[in-house]
Amino acid sequence: MSANKRILLVLTSHDDLGGRRKTGFYVGEAAHPWREFIDAGFTVDVASIAGGTPPQDGFDEADTVQREFLTDDRIAAQLASSPKLGDVSAGDYDAVLLVGGHGTMWDFPGSEALAALGRDIYESGGVLAAVCHGPSGLVNTKLTDGTPLVAGKTVAGFTNEEEAAVKLTDAVPFLLADKLTEQGAHHVAAAPFTEHVEVDGRLVTGQNPQSARAVGAEVVKLLNG
């Protein structure tokens, strides 16, 4: 690992929310951790499952941090032509953040590249983080010995109650909280749409968009610890 901490934001390439509407990565869930990382002096890169320009969702024009993220020279250039995740090496990074957005529910779980990246960053002593629907990238991630990475770990992620509140229970391919539980995780749900982060060793997970900044802050603490 380099002396200058490097963080990778992993973004979905999927833009169809079960035929309901367009989706993608949730901009605030990338922007607010990014702000925590760059304020700590870290270098931040982005990659997406398929490469190219990842689809966006949830952009809030009134959110200064989101605007700064999208117009930052380094980030804007990478979002215009992001590397394909399979071409990225875990060894180049100290931490990986799986950014949420409903699109992740389709392409994160089946990505062999993402499963390998999560395993490699975690087993090499790095920090693995995910927010909102980003933990969908953890449901099929296994350690080298074949056990699910989340087995026995306390995690947060978008809850069944939150999915029902946004009326998308029937649109998503599975319910994230249930799938994490099936993999042996202890999924903890806080009140809907309130900040909630779980830190279990070097695994950091956040429940919803409201938890994005705090996820970034916890990753910074671990890397500076």
Positions marked catalytic: 132-133, 163
Residue 185 in tokens? 């995780």
- Under a CB-based contact definition with an 8 Å cutoff, are residues 35 and 122 in contact? no
Q: Would you say 151 and 184 are in contact if contact means Cβ atoms under 8 Å apart?
A: yes
